[in-house]
Amino acid sequence: MYAVIKTGGKQYRVAAGDKIRVEQMPADIGAEITIDQVLAVGAGDQLSVGTPLVSGATVSATVLSHGRHDKVRIFKMRRRKHYRKQQGHRQNFTELFVSRIASAIGETAAEVPTIVPPAAEAAPGAEA
């Protein structure tokens, strides 16, 4: 089962168990978030497309990390005019682990075991 979701002004095709990087979201690492802006849900040969959203469909995801993408270099130049401009940009992102897709059709994708973020696994120096 897969879904097309909208977040951060972009659209993503996701399935249960996928890791995606989306525009930065104000959520803590390890938090469970629900994305309700689902544009389409598909399973096998069936496809349910919303107008514009599929009613009752949600995608559950866990926040794995926050970070910044690689630097994009911007370089502008006008030849023979002594004009050069260099600039760089690093966009912030939030990495999500898609754990569950629930649709209004009554089908629910099998839940994928939740990944525990590395920071929450064990406290340093603590032995079991």
For 76-109, write each residue's pLDDT tens digit: 999 999 999 999 999 999 999 999 999 866 555 5
117 band by pLDDT with thresholds 50, 70 and 90: low
Q: Is 10 part of any domain?
A: yes
Instruction: Report the chain's mean pLDDT, rounded to a whole number.
Output: 87
| Number of neighbours of residue 42 by Cβ within 10 angstroms | 17
Q: Is 121 part of any domain?
A: no
**What is the distance, to the nearest Å, from the Cα of residue 101 to the centroid of all Cα atoms in its chain?**
13
Entry pTM: 0.76
Q: Is 106 part of any domain?
A: yes
Domain that holds residue 20: 2-112
Structural contact between residues 103 and 56, judged by C-beta atoms closer than 8 angstroms:
yes
Task: Domain count for the chain, please give it.
Answer: 1
